Structure 1
Amino acid sequence: MKIERLSVDKIRIFLTFDDLTERGIQKEDMWREIPKVHELFSEMMEQAYTELGFDATGPLAVEVFALPAQGMVVIVTRGKVQNASDPIDEEEAEEVYEMEVTLEQSDVISYAFHDFEHLLKASHVASGTGVTEGALYSYKNKWILQIDPEDMEEAKEQALIAILSEYGDATSVTTAVLDEYGKRVIAENAIRTLCEHFHK
């Protein structure tokens, strides 16, 4: 579980599928009102407080983004804190979080490479399996390769994920964030373009 602060009132939590499995939670459970998910959320908020001093009292907006191979991204935004002079019902205080949960599913495969050489190696191996697409971004001193597997057969998609995992790290950064804060280096067919311009 990785937690980072996006602003004073907003944090991002990246959960791997291992994080979920360890707690006996399936991906589909994340949008169900079940005790295990509440426990996980409480654990996330405790860790956010310990690591970042993020106080999760009051209303929270929670966005959950499911990524195909990497896990889930949970973005928590803190709402306006209740006026201190307002009476607080003791029972209400027991309800730790008021959550408004929205869910989005992203099928985009997203991997970060710290070294351009590793990106090239991954591209050449992936190209050997017939994968040519992808968009390449430069973001926070890393190369981010994103591939939309929409028309890809599942076996090919799993093979691609295995290749990218060998050379890079799964990343939770979304296309929207990359478009806004990163630099798009190759808009489409990134793997083919890299293989054409840089030989092994």
Structure 2
Amino acid sequence: MRIERIARDKVRIFISYEDLERRGIDRDEIWHNGKKVQELFWDMMETAYEEVGFEVAGPISIEAFTMPQEGVVVIVTRVPSLPARKDEEDESEETMDFELPDPLDSNFVFKIRDFEDVVLIAHALVEYAIVTRLFMYNEAYYLTVDENSMSDDEYDSIWAILQEYGEFSGLTPTWLEEYAKTILARDAIQTIADRFSLR
């Protein structure tokens, strides 16, 4: 298990498949809220407090996604109990995630700062039949990608392309649907690649 504090109210936890096996948890079981998974979560929170001073207090948002070779990445965010006031909307995105994500939601989100990079990503990923949507918030773009629409063999390549031009975001698709502007509600990658050519 490896823990990184990536913001005042957010930590990223890497759990290898070997760690899961030692705890008697198989890859599919991680998505179910069984006793072993609950014990693992509280062990993670205890370790996060001991190693980086991250303490669970109040509501939290939990997001998890798998990487075929490495293991599972879990992002835990302390969130306010009420949405930000209008005069607080310019705060960083780390304080914007108000809802506990659906644990069955297979979508993850990447933040892309420039539209040119969105176009580059689109052309790099257009060969993959992945399900994507595009949103805009605070002059940045947010691409949601459905993990279930890619194969294990494709995962690493797609992830590498997204990381090259963007950064993983702690915002959830549910939050984006409510607070961000929807640019493309479906087929975002295919649509952008069709409409915008590379310079």
Change (3 A) 1:36 1:123: same
Change (3 A) 1:192 1:45: same
Q: Deviations over 1:53-107 (max 9, x none)?
A: xx94xxx44442213459323244689xxxxxxxxxxxxxxxxxxxxxx982542
Compute the displacement of 1:108 (Å): 1.1
Moved over 6 A (4+): none
Q: Deviations over 1:140-198 (max 9, x none)?
A: 22111111132422112332112111111111210111011111100000011101111
Q: Which residue of 2 aligns with 1:149?
A: 147
| Cα distance in 2, alignment partners of residues 44 and 78 from structure 1 | 23
5 Å-filtered alignment, 1:123-134, equals 123-127=122-126, 129-131=127-129, 133-134=131-132
Provide the aligned length of Structure 1 versus Structure 2.
158
Q: Which residue of 2 aligns with 1:13?
A: 10
Q: Which residue of 1 aligns with 2:38?
A: 31
Q: Structure 2: any 5+ residue segments left out of the alignment?
A: 21-26, 31-35, 82-100
5 Å-filtered alignment, 1:78-93, equals none
Structure with larger Rg: 1
| Cα distance in 1, alignment partners of residues 147 and 178 from structure 2 | 22
Change (3 A) 1:114 1:16: farther
Q: Report the secondary structure of 1:144's partner residue.
A: strand
Q: Which residue of 2 aligns with 1:88?
A: none
Q: What is the CA RMSD across the aligned residues, in angstroms?
A: 3.5
Name the amino acid aligned to 2:138.
Answer: K
| Cα distance in 2, alignment partners of residues 144 and 40 from structure 1 | 31
| Cα distance in 2, alignment partners of residues 103 and 44 from structure 1 | 28
Compute the displacement of 1:117 (Å): 0.9
8 A Cα contact 1:138 1:185, kept in partner: yes
Name the amino acid aligned to 1:199.
Answer: S
1:186 and 2:190 aligned: no
Q: Which residue of 1 aligns with 2:119?
A: 120
Q: Report the TM-score when normalising by structure 1.
A: 0.63
Q: Report the TM-score when normalising by structure 2.
A: 0.63
8 A Cα contact 1:66 1:106, kept in partner: no
Q: Structure 1: any 5+ residue segments left out of the alignment?
A: 5-11, 49-54, 80-101
**Which stretch of the first structure deviates more once superposed, 175-184 or 129-138?**
129-138
8 A Cα contact 2:108 2:173, kept in partner: no
Q: Which of 66, 73, 76 is equivalent to 2:75?
A: 73
Name the amino acid aligned to 1:152.
Answer: M
